[in-house]
Amino acid sequence: MTKKSVAAVKTPDVLSSSEYRGFWISFKNGEIEVGREHESMPFLHWKDKDPIHIHYFSFATWTDVIGKWLHSCEGDGEMQGDQPLSPLEYFNAEHKLQNDLMKGYSSQIRPLSNHNESLTVEMGLVVFYMDLRENESVFNVNGFLQIHWKDKRLAWNESHYEGLNILHIPSELIWKPQISLANSIDHTMNYMNAATHVTIMPGGVVLMIVPASFHALCEIDLRNYPWDTQKCSLIFYSYFNGGDRIDINLLYDTNPEYSLTTYKLIKNNQWHAVIDKAERVLTPDEMNYKEYPEIYFTFELKRKSPLFISTLFLPAIVTMIVCLLSLWMPPNCPEKMYMIISNMVVLFMYLAYLNYILPTNLEHQPTVVSFYGGTLLLVTISLLFTVITIRMTRLPKPTGMPYCLKKVIIGPIGTLLGLNWTGILISPTHKPLETLNGIATSFEHSQSSRHNEISSHQPDLEQFVVDSSSTGANMEWMVFALFIDRILFICYSFLFGILLSICF
């Protein structure tokens, strides 16, 4: 050749000295392509930026090389170059590449020449927002899936298409792996059929981005509400294709944490993701004797609960204090019942509130509900004992306390309960004391010494609401009512402490 070449490519062993080899040459609208017989992809391509009419063409070997050519031309007896230029069939190289790739392409066939092989599909997840609806046990994630696979039918030579090294086409034109969300609340949802585009590289590598809102079932455990942590997962798999046909793997197999991206996560007002991880799990199918690879994207969500300190924890403390204070009031004081009943109303309202905001079909009862329910039970019991003690102290009694009860109150137990001063109101014998100005007195002491003893315990005696008609027997039963209140106070303090340690 005497002139400079405009296009060249190395083709070792493309010709043979012992047999004819077939080639095709196409020239149209300034584009010239050369390829092997029975191959649709050209190995040589050149485009004339200033095309001219082609009237004649010839074949030649390299200088000093002898060759023999057999050729035939298509085109109704006329040269294509003799025809006037028509509008461009392809708008640009991208248009031409897409058209060439789609010739004879089937989107129903896996992109493998050997049907016994397994196609590797890699996937990752980018999360923008997540939320958990515990009343419905639904975990919501907004983001998009990143799915990679290789389709050899979509490979091309960049030099044949003006150096084009990337192609974007609608996803419905090519084969796609059918990947589903295993724990979806709606199994009719097919995320892979979403109207999106795929990105194809020259080697046939396909990248598909699937934007979607995923709604998955999540097992809720509200035992520690409102300081609970929930664990929810998105499980992806291909049910109709086992691992022997489609092998699903993480996008970054060596670094699984990179397969789950949350750096663009929009903060949720109620939940905070404390842990997120991606893992691949092989699940056996006993019916089909196959193993199905599944991709787990798992999140641990911790509830943000500063508000609940004021709305649940502090009212719980207040109801306990009110209950204990009611037990410290005089045993025959009617205001005790008003305090206890008001406390019961508050507890009923909080239980109704918790029943409104929490699911009713929980497997385990939240501890905060157990606390308010247990507190309501204890307050009800205290109301029962209050009715008994008020009745005990208000109705006239013909006889005093049994002697065995007197011994207990006057003894070490009474001293431990702070009732050692009540000895002035209790007869050490089987007979009750008589009254003196509303306060019991004994025949065994002089009136003057009795008044001195009463005066020294005046602050303690103010715990009683007495009048001049109170008999010695009534005063003894009033001391017994005070004894019951002190026992309940100690027991309730212990029980409330246990409830707080368990529930909060």
CA neighbor of 288 nearest in space, from 228, 240, 359: 240
Torsion of CA 263, 269, 270, 271, to 10 degrees: 10
Question: What pLDDT is recorded for position 141?
Answer: 92
Q: Mind giving me the DSSP string for 417-429?
A: TT-GGGGGGS-SS
Question: What pLDDT is recorded for position 107?
Answer: 87
C-alpha dist (Å) from residue 229 to 83, 129, 219, 220, 304: 76, 18, 12, 9, 10
Handedness of CA 350, 352, 353, 355 (dihedral sign): positive
At position 410, the amino acid (one-letter code) is I
Question: What pLDDT is recorded for position 409?
Answer: 67
What residues contact 65, with CB distance under 8 A and at least 6 apart? Answer: none
The segments of the chain whose pLDDT lies below 50 read 1, 76-88, 424, 430, 432-462, 464-470
> Checking phi first, is residue 418 left (phi over 0); if not, alpha (psi -120 to 50) or beta?
left
CA neighbor of 133 nearest in space, from 311, 308, 265, 270: 270
Encoded tokens for 212 = 């979607």
How far apart (Å, rounded) are the C-alpha atoms in residues 487 and 476?
17
Question: What pLDDT is recorded for position 80?
Answer: 43
CA neighbor of 471 nearest in space, from 425, 417, 503, 428: 425
CB 211 within 8 A of CB 129: no
CB 137 within 8 A of CB 217: yes
pTM greater than 0.85: no
Question: What pLDDT is recorded for position 342?
Answer: 93
What residues contact 471, with CB distance under 8 A and at least 6 apart? Answer: 396, 397, 432, 434, 435
